[in-house]
Structure 1
Amino acid sequence: MGEQLLVRDAPAYEDVWAPGWALDVRRVVSRDRRGTGDPTLRIAEDGLWRTTTTPDGPATVRLTGSVTALRVQAWGPGADWAGRRVPRWLGAEDRVAGFDADVHPLVARVHRTTPWLRLGSTGRVWDALVPAVLEQKVTGIEAHRTWRELLRLTGDPAPGPAPAGMRVVPSPEQVLAVTDWEWHRCGLDGARRRALRAVASVASRLEAAAHGEDGCAADCADLRRRLQSVPGIGVWTAAEVAQRAIGCPDSVSVGDYHLKNLVGWSLAGRKTDDAGMLELLEPWRGHRQRVVRLLEVGGSMPPKRGPRMSPTDHRRI
């Protein structure tokens, strides 16, 4: 019985990778974690687990070991594709040429003290697009709750011996099959529901647009333009997807409720609007997202005053 279990749970892909820099796996990947209960990303005692879609089908990846010998294991139909993609996830193809951190002392200091920070690319537009749509114009608490409900409703169980409750992002076909009543149970309002259905209907074209003919990542501006051609997808959502799917170093999430004040307060000691934020980031054009990431790690927000935005439970409407 024990031997049968070992055979069943044996990974379809396994390798050991040496990053070559002071990689902090958890901190790099945590930006893609949608709350502590995210069904697609789990940090456990036995490693970091992540599910993903791939051109070959779903996969579960487990990362263990050290920064000098990172063990990569993967299960499922897409195991080989996902396992080989891990270095890109963690920033192996990120290039900092042309980035001058010394333009601002805070940026220089944070850049110097965070050698682990690399901009990774998952290569999967759909996996980044679904949660980004769910996060449109709502609080993080509300978006994370809807994300968990959607995955529990229609996401397939994670391949392999993944921790209990892990799921794979539902396919576009699975999303289109969700009924209005089921959407209501997930707590999704009409606007986000329509946007999600719109991107699901053209998902294959958007996925193909993320890669050039040579297999390299697509141009950031072109991918954002294609995304924004879909009804319900604006500047903010397109930037969030480009950052994660192809590791775009320059895409700024214009329209974010908090980001403009993080940038303004960190770089100039004042609150600002989106135009002011872009003006402050202009010296780093080409690497503006890199600066944002650095400020998310070592920047600061203005003092909080007044009531916080309250989440809306659309299941009760």
Structure 2
Amino acid sequence: MLTDPQTCMTAVRSRDARFDGWFVTGVRTTGIYCRPSCPATPPKARNITFYPSAAAAQASGFRACKRCRPDASPGSPEWNVRADLVARAMRLIADGVVDREGVDGLSRRLGYSTRQVERQVRAELGASPLALARAQRAQTARVLIETTNLPLTQVAHASGFGSIRSFNDTVRAVFAMAPRELRSRTKVLAGGASPTGAAWHHLQLRLPFRRPLEVGNLFGHLVATAVPGVEEWRDGAYRRTMQLPHGPAVIALRPDDGFVAARVWLRDLTDLPVAISRSRWLLDLDADPEAIDAHLATDEVLAPLVAAAPGRRVPRTVDGVEFALRLVIGQQISTRAARTHAARLVEAYGEPIDDPDGGLTATFPDAVAIATAADETLAMPQSRRNTLRALATALAEGRIDVSTSADWARTRQELLALPGIGPWTVEGVAMRALGDPDAFLATDLGVRQAMSALGLPDAGRAQLDTAAPWRPWRAYAVQHLWGSVPHEINQLPEQATHEQTRSAG
């Protein structure tokens, strides 16, 4: 985390939004903490304390600024580009593990003692895992208070609070207002969280991000590879089903001016923080695009690609197990064929849902269902069928971790040990499921074609040597390489239709 006083003060004085999420500013004379870009007049340096996290500021008695809302800034990009213990812990906390399993459960997942996890997290973040989870609960509560018409007792439950008293006390401590005061200041969005029928709760949210954001390859990739029944593009939004800790969900994500508009349908409102976290992960919204682009643009060949499409993100996944299985299904076949094969499995083994908007039919089958699937539903060569079953069995038994908190090196080794899984599959999982920003699909056909067209070596040691200066952002370089080759993954469906129409004319 960034806490160097001189750098932080420079960011505050210039109201630099690029640093939002990297640190917060505690103003001792007011007892308020702000994001670096707060529009208020910057306080004097002697009255400021910089904190590595909102939780640390809250633990020191500061309240969130009502003007710049530091609790609602994009998350720190630090946690999505590192594979150490603290970064893995932060990804799990964001996914709600502490709320569901406690700090002991967090430690078990990380493979360390509770004392080690507590010590390292506190040393870097200035707050304990419990305090960080509490800060996340407070932000979830604020979202529900201000954007839904849920009764406050249900807001407390959905936010993960164990009692109404702790909910009220936390909201007052963090925002200097009681929950009812927060709601009275805000016009609730129409349709907020009213149940849509007997089964679903519907919420409308805004997901912030750091600009710029290139939406063409991000949403285009997700739509081009969408599995019928599980994913679709409808009315300018990418929609898909998810399986969350307490039940299924449906999300609809639409790029907008300065944010991503999200509509969420949940069976259980306590899954809201997880749905938000996984949606942000899917769209790589916590990335720092200016830092990534600046590094890649130092390469004279990549520089024009970066200038033409700044802010490319890595399209990820909401479920590492699902993505790993889909990647094996799609080995050595076209995108269209991979979608067809996956759709058959969804129809046969997916959990049916009643999509409130009517376009989706099921969640993707879990690893157990794929491991035991009948031969007739696995229309693929026997060798790939064996690979798919071996992977599904390993995932179902927990022998391979493809979650956002996995050890990247260990997962790579374990995947490579399975028959039929090579570097292309391993790096694909590393890039889109594990979130390794340096994952590089050297053998991918699109990457090789793009490098060749740019006059770069496209195979062997020469290719890897050429890509070495792109580290640690080779996964983002891959997005630029893919973007230089004509393919439907590079643009939104409306854009593709427009281009086809214009060409035909």
**Residue 109 in 1 paired to residue 312 in 2?**
no
Say if 2:250 and 2:355, in contact at 8 Å, map to a contact too. yes
Cα distance in 1 between the residues matched to 2:473 and 2:455: 15
- The residue aligned with 1:143 is 338
Q: 82-91 or 168-177: which moved more? A: 82-91
| Bigger mean CA deviation after superposition, 222-231 or 90-99 | 90-99
Instruction: Evaluate the alpha carbon distance shift between residue 143 and residue 242 of structure 1 in structure 2; reply closer, same or farther with a 3 A threshold.
Output: same
Deviation per CA, 1:243-273: give whole Å up to 9, x if none.
11132221122332342232232243xx732
SS of the residue corresponding to residue 297 of structure 2 reads helix
| Alpha-carbon shift at residue 43 of structure 1 (Å) | 1.0
Residue segments in structure 2 that go unaligned for 5+ positions in a row: 1-193, 488-505
Structure 1 stretches lacking a partner, 5+ long: 212-216, 302-317
Q: Which amino acid aligns with 1:240?
A: G
> Does 2:381 align with 1:189?
yes
Counterpart Cα distance in 2 of 1:69 and 1:123: 19
- Answering whether residue 320 of structure 2 is matched by residue 130 of structure 1, we say no
1:63 aligns with 2:63: no
The 2-side partners of 1:209 and 1:225 are apart by 12
Q: Matched residue of 1:191: which SS?
A: helix
Which deviations, in whole Å up to 9, do the C-alpha atoms of 1:10-43 show, x marking residues without a partner? Answer: 5355422232423355631332345466433211
Q: Secondary structure at the match of 1:278?
A: helix
The Cα of 1:132 is off from its aligned counterpart by 0.4
Stretch moving more, 283-292 or 135-144: 135-144
Identity %: 20
Structure 1 match to 2:420 = 232
Which residue number corresponds to residue 214 of structure 1?
none
Q: Is 1:257 equivalent to 2:450 in the alignment?
A: no
Structure-1 residue corresponding to 2:86: none
- Which fold has the larger relative contact order, with Cα–Cα distance below 8 Å and residues 6 or more apart in sequence? 1
Partner of 1:307: none
Tell me the secondary structure at the aligned position of residue 52 of structure 1.
strand
**Which of the numbers 85, 88, 91 marks the counterpart of 2:284?**
91
User: What is the CA distance between 1:129 and its match in structure 2?
Assistant: 0.7
Contact 1:21 1:115 in 2 (8 A): no
TM score, norm. by length of structure 2: 0.51
Q: CA RMSD in A?
A: 3.1
Residue 181 of structure 1 deviates from its aligned partner by 2.6
Structure 2 residue 478 is the aligned partner of structure 1 residue 286: no
Answer yes or no: is the 8 Å Cα contact 2:239–2:251 preserved in 1.
Answer: yes
**Contact 1:104–1:267 (CA<8 Å) still a contact in 2?**
no
| Cα distance change, pair 30–73 in 1 and its aligned pair in 2 (3 A) | same
Deviation at 1:117, TM superposition (A): 1.1
Structure 1 distance, partners of 2:285, 2:214, is 13
Answer with 158-167 or 43-52: which moved more. 158-167
Judge conservation of contact 2:437–2:473 (CA < 8 Å) in 1: yes
2:201 counterpart SS class: coil
Question: How many residue pairs are counted as aligned between the two chains?
Answer: 288
The range that moved more, 131-140 or 109-118, is: 109-118
CA distance 1:300–1:65, change in 2 (3 Å)? closer
Please state how far the C-alpha of 1:190 moved relative to its aligned partner: 1.0
The structure number with the bigger radius of gyration is 2
Q: CA deviation at 1:206?
A: 5.7
Structure 1 residues 113 and 48: CA distance shift in structure 2, 3 A: same
- Amino acid across the alignment from 1:108: A
CA distance in 2, matches of 1:90, 1:252: 19
Is the helix fraction higher in 1 or 2? Answer: 2
